[in-house]
Structure 1
């Protein structure tokens, strides 16, 4: 394919044609389902990789909602809206067969589970369908979500950056209940509900064996989501185009057709700046549907950050691919707008097919918003998407510039569909929505979600995450709103945020996005991270653990001396003790100072040195994570060399989550006069 370059210089930004016309006679027609089939495990498995199906409003129709362990103290924006006790919340606890079962989900059918996530799966999970007394699935939750359940291997299920995800669909005709015989964990259960009378074939355990070939094929597709060009059919056209600084190039297409695949390779003097500064705009049938920086549109920003998902991805060599299915009835216009100071060259290929437009067909949408120097307090709901019309939400990619090591993503997703006054998706943490957990900085990739970039140390720097809703897409008939809480551990810093929302909508739909301004596309430099250190401090994370009940280990904490502290965080109860050692340079009397961590799930502890208690037990509860002031612990007779520091659990503040945690930042020794 030959590109036409700029032909004239105008005072206004000129637009130039960059693709030649395509021959419709070479294209392959896409099939359109004439009528809805019964819902079954088999049909849902097909939908897990059917990106073309996202472009047709569902038939039979359904809603998609979420059960979760969100803090139920959150009642409204005026009542505990940012409450954060998101662990161990259940619908109820039932007595069954002599055991306690914590009910995570209880829904009337017809419907289908389409995703289960947990940060810390516990106990035996049981899934009861259609009022049966015996579960259709009974397994260790960590096996079912971790890819170890027979017949449901990775990547259909698996642990990714500490998040456990199951994407195997479980349909039910009448009802579904999900329980665990252990409590104390985080969870999401995403599920569909179909209209009464919809024909649904309930899942049974034998289907894992009878559908083994399909499940194996599905697993292979999810494991290699980029696929091959030959799999897409249609007509492939190659292109190369130069976009001068400050200019626009343009190409028109005639319908009815659909874009089914594209690959882009970018060359520029500053590639990272160009991926943010080159804007892709797409107009379908006269409606502006896509407007985003090129790199953000392809699911990770800024720069090239390798990952492979089903609809989008990037290779380490810099190939950007898109598999979103984009139909149009009469026309499509693609524009590339260069907001950078240098020429940008784009090359690659586009694949089109003929596609029959129906009364259910929807346009693809992808739009970007960014906000800079956003203070982390007061907390707020940051909007990903507000849309009106009929459509289907299909995902989001998100990028944040974080100037500190502290965790930026404690906030929950809140999704409102068709005028809901309370969200039908209320999450448990930003990373939980994106399918990982525990603020984990390790990059990962999966067909449906990824963390392609996290600079570090810890959560400092630029981070990019995404999640794509395919079998768990969220239909709406009138309107849709997706907010994500900005809930940062650091109450005094400012962050930069950018997001691309992906959705489908019938013609005439509207959204709340504003046109992208050139100044918004300029990358802000990250401040250099300086590790804070207290002179002479004996760092808690470097002390040798002599005795402990439960788990104690170093944890990154931006406000700590040296950026870490010793975190005692699991398996303890009142009267349990943590004992660590520290060295004194010589025998004698020392005044000892210490600094500790305070948070909502920290306990009351009796502190001691060499068995000598100092003062009354200390209460380390605080609604937010923060350091204590440096405490004067008193004067102690220390031995030359090894001495012992201990913390014993006494209890917890009445307002605290009863986890009894403890954090030691440092001790500081000063010779006593």
Structure 2
């Protein structure tokens, strides 16, 4: 397999590499490892400066802290972050581009990294990698032209500790580069005979590049007959892109089920799509199953000129071979690029709306 991110890796380009962490909070040249205070100061008391004095930050209850504040043009290329799994749905990650007060990215930390259920599962995709035990990595390209700001808000009533590193380069951004956006929505439960909306009212031009769903099943039986639909530009009642089923959209088939003799539902994780997490509290096809699924449209971005709306149905089966609309717990994170620094977005997540229950 030829991985697209290796293309052109040998080229020498006129940019400057920088990195921000608790050890170098400004990313300035030659300023790493010079901290005299921090969460590691006690452990380093016999060694002194330069010996992991500040490996992490503590975020107080209700506090929003800035992870990265970057002036100039360039692109964030990698984010590594970890915190206790209890915090994955208590922290909100935001990104602001070029001085816009409205965030382009606003999601729970766990969902941004395909980990919405607060339990570790290995993720082996190209843009997102999650490694033991809760090592979150993002390789989404995040260009900016004058300023970039990444923040984290702690919605919990206790302080939390976060370890992180933000890698980026400074230099000229190519013409036509768009801004990364990520939006989180949750239907809990989904109202009867409705669809779960992933995006609505997003203006173009731009292109849709990824979906993560944390899907909680509240009924017995198979739950994934629903179609994923993309309403492009002038589409109104009917979409241009209409899938054939939820598991089909995420690259699986036949309920993700290998059969009872081979383990039933089966996890998988590939560069572009996967079902890395299945939580089975009650057994196959019983209620309270929990699933985490992703699809990244990297070789096949969905391009739109004027606007985009995306939704998914929740459908099971009832007697007589009839579809059964479900009222499941569906949390979605939609990733897309837009020429705008901010666009229509849902209500800000809160501690109550993010809570795993």
Under TM normalisation by the shorter chain, which class is it? 0.7 to 0.9
Query: Where does residue 307 of structure 1 map in the other structure?
Result: 123
Say which SS state the counterpart of residue 261 (structure 1) adopts: strand
**Correspondence for 1:252:** 69
- Give the Cα–Cα distance (whole angstroms) in 2 for the partners of residues 316 and 451 of structure 1: 17
- In structure 1, the partner of 2:21 is 238
In the TM superposition, what is the alpha-carbon distance from 1:259 to its structure 2 partner?
A: 0.5
Give, in whole Å, the separation in 2 of the partners of 1:361 and 1:407. Answer: 41
Please give the alpha-carbon distance, in whole angstroms, between the structure 1 residues aligned to 2:16 and 2:116: 30
- The farther-off stretch of 250-259 and 316-325 is 250-259
Aligned residues of 2:94 and 2:150 also touching (Cα < 8 A): yes
- Corresponding residue for residue 487 of structure 1: 315
**Partner residue of 1:506?**
339
**Inter-partner Cα distance in structure 2 for 1:344 and 1:266:** 8
1:359 positional shift? 4.1
Q: Shift in Å at residue 463 of structure 1? A: 0.8
Summarize the Cα distance change of 1:509–1:419 in structure 2 as closer, same or farther, 3 Å threshold: farther
What is the match of residue 131 of structure 1? none
Q: Which deviations, in whole Å up to 9, do the C-alpha atoms of 1:373-429 show, x marking residues without a partner?
A: 224x42x33211121121111011001111334121110111121112432211110
Question: Are the counterparts in 2 of residues 300 and 452 from structure 1 also a CA contact under 8 Å?
Answer: no
**2:274 aligned residue:** 450
Q: 1:475-624 counterparts in 2 under 5 A? A: 475-489=303-317, 491=324, 494-507=327-340, 510-524=343-357
CA contact (8 A) 1:244 1:343 kept: yes
Distance 1:359 1:478 in 2: 20
1:333-363 Cα shifts (integer Å, max 9, x gaps): 2111111232211113211112423441211
Q: Secondary structure at the match of 1:520?
A: helix
Bigger relative contact order, structure 1 or 2 (CA pairs below 8 A, ≥6 apart): 2
Q: Distance in 1 between matches of 2:327 and 2:232?
A: 31
Q: Which residue matches 1:435?
A: 251
Partners in 1 of 2:271 and 2:203 — Cα distance? 28
The CA deviation at 1:451 is: 0.7
CA–CA distance in structure 2, aligned partners of residues 493 and 433 of structure 1: 18
Structure 2 match to 1:280 = 93
1:588 corresponds to:
none
Aligned structure 1 segments of 4 or more residues deviating by more than 6 angstroms: none
Q: Return the alpha-carbon distance in structure 1 between the equivalents of residues 213 and 336 of structure 2.
A: 15
Q: Which residue is 2:208 aligned to?
A: 393
Matching of residues 151-170 of structure 1 within 5 Å: none
RMSD: 2.4
- Between the aligned partners of 1:338 and 1:280, the Cα distance in structure 2 is 9
Aligned to 2:353, what secondary structure does the other structure show? helix
Whether the 8 Å CA contact 1:49–1:310 is kept in 2: the answer is no
Per-residue displacement from partner, 1:601-657 (whole Å, max 9, x unpaired)? Answer: xxxxxxxxxxxxxxxxxxxxxxxxxxxxxxxxxxxxxxxxxxxxxxxxxxxxxxxxx
Distance 1:277 1:433 in 2: 29
Change (3 A) 1:281 1:464: same
Is contact 1:443-1:452 (8 Å) kept? yes
Name the residue aligned to 1:423.
239
Alignment TM-score, normalising by the size of structure 2: 0.77
Query: 2:199, 2:284 → 1: CA distance?
Result: 29
Task: Give the drift of 1:329.
Answer: 0.8
Alignment map for 1:119-130 (pairs within 5 Å): none
SS at match of 1:395: strand
Report the CA distance shift for 1:366/1:355 in structure 2 as closer, same or farther (over 3 A): farther
Q: Deviations over 1:308-347 (max 9, x none)?
A: 1000021131100000000111111211111123221111
Give the TM-score normalised by the residue count of structure 1. 0.42
Q: State the aligned residue count.
A: 295
In the other structure, the counterpart of 2:138 is: 322
Residues 314 and 325 in structure 2, CA contact (< 8 A), matched pair in contact too: no
Distance in 1 between residues matched to 2:218 and 2:195, nearest whole Å: 20
Give unmatched runs, 5+ long, in structure 1.
1-44, 51-216, 219-231, 525-673
CA shift, 1:296, in A, is: 0.2
